[in-house]
A and B are shown apart, each in its own frame.
Chain A
């Protein structure tokens, strides 16, 4: 075949510039959080002489590997505030970014299977309502009405005793979210530099002044770290520690099916979460592999366990086939809350610790982290998520509190 028969290449969404000698700020990590941070730095703070450095290709890490669930039904006030703000941004971003990234507010259900689950869930619904987060408690019959393929019989080991439901929650097309941010960043003048791995930092005393990369040295006033699973590696290069442990987190998809699953179902107790992507795959995930790992893969028994849970809850899935499984590296903290703020190194800032739930937080992480980088002070939404909380003891303990299947 000759090229004359091929159609024109579609317009590229962003340039691929070579790195300049210096920038006002450099963001390390070209995933969702790095892109959102650069976008808000440019849009809200007028910082357009900035670069995003990505060691691989744009949005090829956890941004390509997550299960795309967006919700804000967290228990504690600090979490509800930041995640609800994220959800409100998700609601306006398709228009603002001029890109329909298929944000679908199909609702998220968090099932309760034990009396303890029921009490925790009802409490969380109350806490959510007080924080202005839409939430309701559903009995098993209402669960069945919303999601007819769910098995609510009491003939299984952990029958469904009810669920919390957040109607405004849902899913979005993760790749398109990254492309939407990338195109706007590029339009605003941000340099997105791929295949550019950070290998060290240049410091003047305790102040960062530059970044060493596989594509040369770049001088910069400020550095923002958005490297998720590799945050500890970068912090070590810069000379400080983070209370982060990196774990593999796996997910899987089935082959394509007719639309059968109208919402998103999460079960902390039998441990699986399931939605159906726009294309038709059933998308599933569960908890992290127990051991520390940077390998972007995990152990198969974790997949086996979540499929067993899925088939018990959704008998209709029994003849579906697993098409692919994969793993990402998630940066977990001991209180299951993120770290967004300053670091012991002057002019270096960190956004990490989002663990298993970073996708939903993308817009708020970007907004608050950009504010922190631009002004040197935290935004009111990320102030409680400072690194110092591990010293003061003001933890935001969302482990088991946030309807999260960690």
Chain B
């Protein structure tokens, strides 16, 4: 079982969380102008990275907040945890990096 360092609650068992898939997938800016191919990309195509992968998690039975996590999909090592709206940190440190919780003005635009 993964031990996930929630940015608000600290390390908790994976069973307290829900997985949200790939992080940093923006809603299309001009949905009306998308081709079918572009809609397919937005709806059904996600990166399926073997290695360091930025993904979203929800601490559903804790603080009920979403956050981002950088995790290796082969070793399952958690490399970083960072707030929604923040850019993906550079891949590198294997020790978990927990950054400070998101401030209201730092939320997703």
Distance of B19 from chain A, by nearest CB (Å): 4
Point out the residue from B1, B14, B36, B74 that lies within 8 Å of A294, measured CB to CB.
Answer: B74
Contacting residues, chain A, for B36 (C-beta < 8 A): 391-393
Interface residues on B, range: 20 to 34
Pairwise interchain contact B44-A334, C-beta atoms closer than 8 A: yes
- Which residue of chain B is the closest to A387 with respect to CB atoms? B40
The answer to whether B76 and A390 touch across the interface, beta carbons within 8 angstroms, is no
Quick check: which of B24-32, B45-53, B86-94, B97-105 contacts chain A, the rest being far away?
Answer: B45-53
> With A245-B21, A291-B19 given, is the CB distance from A300 to B1 under 8 Å?
yes
Chain B binding surface SS class: mixed
* A233, CB-defined interface residue at 8 Å: yes
User: Which residue of the partner chain, among A242, A244, A295, A333, contacts B73 with CB atoms under 8 Å?
Assistant: A295
CB-CB under 8 A from B48, the residues of chain A are 232-233, 242, 244-246, 292
Q: With A241-B45, A292-B53, A299-B2 as known contacts, state yes or no: A390 contacts B40, CB within 8 Å.
A: yes
Q: How far is the CB of B66 from chain A (nearest CB, A)?
A: 15
Task: List, in ascending order, chain B residues with CB within 8 A of A291's CB.
Answer: 2, 19, 55, 71, 73
Instruction: Give every chain A residue within 8 A of B75 (Cβ-Cβ).
Output: 295
Q: Mark A124-157, 1 if CB is under 8 A from B, else 0.
A: 0000000000000000000000000000000000
Which residue in A232, A293, A391 is a CB contact (below 8 Å) of B40?
A: A391
Known: A300-B1, A301-B15. A294 touches B50 (CB 8 A): yes
**A259 part of interface (Cβ distance < 8 Å):** no
A residues in contact with B109, CB < 8 Å: none
The 4 closest A-B pairs by CB, nearest first: A232-B48, A290-B19, A243-B44, A391-B40
Spell out B's residues near A (CB within 8 Å): 1-2, 13-15, 18-19, 21, 36-37, 39-41, 43-46, 48-50, 53, 55, 71, 73-76
List 11 contacting pairs A-B, 8 Å CB cutoff, sorted by A. A232-B50, A241-B45, A242-B48, A245-B48, A246-B48, A291-B2, A292-B48, A299-B2, A299-B14, A301-B1, A333-B44
